[in-house]
Amino acid sequence: MSGNPLIGMQYVWRGFQNLTTPGLRRYVALPLLLNVLVMGGASIWGIGKLDGWIGELIDMLPGFLSFLYWILMPLAVIVVVFSLFYFFSAVLMIIAGPLNGLLAERVETMQGHTIPDESIPSMTVRTVGREFRKVAYYLPRYLGIFIIGLIPLLQVVAAPLWLWFGGWMMAVQYVDFSFDNHTKPFKDVRDAMSQDLFTVMGFGLLVALLLTIPVINLFIMPAAVIGATLMRLERMPFHGQSQNISYAEGITADERPGLTHDETQGSGRG
């Protein structure tokens, strides 16, 4: 295992920086609109339900363990909040998969890379199918952690599991768009990410955290797609792709200045 979580977090920031980049704006607009509708609605609905759900979890605590209330209460909040936002994030990813695939493709072309030619209908079928493949991967694991979180004494274990696996899945979710655009198997995504684990976990954990913050979570999806695609290009290049390729190569004059760069460029695996 290698990498640097701070570098992974910087890719999230680079995603936000590039939301208004010329040449990307029209690819950001529709995913952003979907994110506002789904996550905005989820936030309003979830806030109204949160107190009741947490109360039900705490009521499951046996009377003789009531002294643990102030320890288990924040853990219950973490379990409920992360469960809620991961669920709606999964629904959103299935709906927005084709749009995010187009956004990731545009990021790559603006960085000087090429994407295999494919029709829009074919790309739509492929990306939606890939989203269901990811659901099949993480749903059993999420359910297992959720069940653990319902058991009062095991909530101490459930909270860090939510954080760690949630961060991993956020990284997988967004890095995979670039892999899928090149029709790479899903296993290749996990294998490549495991080679730079701490970097991708820094990225994923920050995305997971931002998903729980109202207003910011409305913008996180397109920002994460951009940041994850840049991270894939610079830290997980495919065979035949050079690492840290100049973004200007192969870009016509009207498509410049390209994407903003910072210290993550050329930072290596450290």
- What is the pLDDT tens value at each position of the chain, 270 positions in all? 688 999 999 999 999 999 999 888 888 888 778 777 776 666 666 666 666 666 666 666 666 655 666 666 666 666 666 666 666 667 777 777 888 899 999 999 999 888 888 888 888 889 889 988 988 898 888 788 878 877 767 767 877 887 888 899 899 999 999 999 999 999 999 999 999 999 999 999 999 888 778 778 778 889 999 999 999 999 999 875 555 433 333 333 333 345 665 555 444 444
- Please state, in angstroms and as integers, the Cα–Cα distance from residue 3 to each residue in 54, 172, 235, 238, 241, following that order: 36, 16, 10, 18, 20
Helices 120-150, 155-181: crossing angle, 10 deg rounding: 170
Beta carbons within 8 Å of 91's beta carbon, 6+ residues apart = 38
Write down the pTM of the prediction.
Answer: 0.74
